Structure 1
Amino acid sequence: MKKSKATEAHRVATDIAALKTALKKQGYITRKRPKQAAWTITPLNHRGTGRKIEECYLLTYQPAPISAWILHPLHKTYSKLVNLSQT
């Protein structure tokens, strides 16, 4: 059975809300990229006042037939961020 676009859009909105909440608790900032199903994820530095540009990630949603979240660049922190999103 094929999913409707509205159902998939609702699921994506629910997923990103949960991701943003989990990442914020761990000290990450998420910002929506304009006109894209993509979010920039940036960790705060040790003082919590600025950002480390070299540790910036891009989270994208790949629509059907893939229907999955992709984190770029793939890095050792990837598994940590994925684990945060599943809690």
Structure 2
Amino acid sequence: MDYTHLNNRAQIVQKITLIRTALKQHGYLLRKQPRQAVWIIQVSQAKRYRLTYQPSPIAAWFLHPVGGDRNRQEVLNIIQNTLNQHSIDIPEKVL
């Protein structure tokens, strides 16, 4: 039996729990989309981002939509700092 998939899934669950806690501490809400590997980050009533994870060989988190606004950069920094501080394995990219 291949346990790699189960181990990767457990790591994703652990990482999203850390991300959820960090975002909540900064006043953001995070909720999972049903049957999708997508999490919605509520910044304000009118502003939302989608967080997705792309497994190996990419192994990166993506925040959509892509843009240069201040809110997006703040959310990216929170996620990146959280993943770096609680490094479970090699650091991942957050794009």
Category of TM-score, reference length = shorter chain: 0.7 to 0.9
The corresponding residue for 2:24 is 24
Match of 2:63 in 1: 71
- Which ranges in structure 2 are unaligned for 5 or more consecutive residues? 83-95
TM-score, length-scaled by structure 1: 0.77
The 3-state SS of whatever aligns with 2:19 is helix
Name the % identity: 38
What is the CA–CA distance in structure 1 between the aligned matches of 2:60 and 2:43, rounded to whole Å? 23
Report how far residue 25 of structure 1 moved: 0.8
Give the letter aligned to residue 39 of structure 2.
Answer: W
Partner of 2:89: none
Question: How many residues in Structure 1 have an aligned counterpart in Structure 2?
Answer: 77
Runs of 4+ in structure 1 displaced over 3 angstroms?
none
Q: Secondary structure at the match of 1:74?
A: coil
What stretches of structure 1 of length at least 5 have no aligned partner? 45-51
1:59 aligns with 2:89: no
The two structures have a TM-score, normalised by structure 2, of 0.72
The alignment yields a C-alpha RMSD, in angstroms, of 1.6
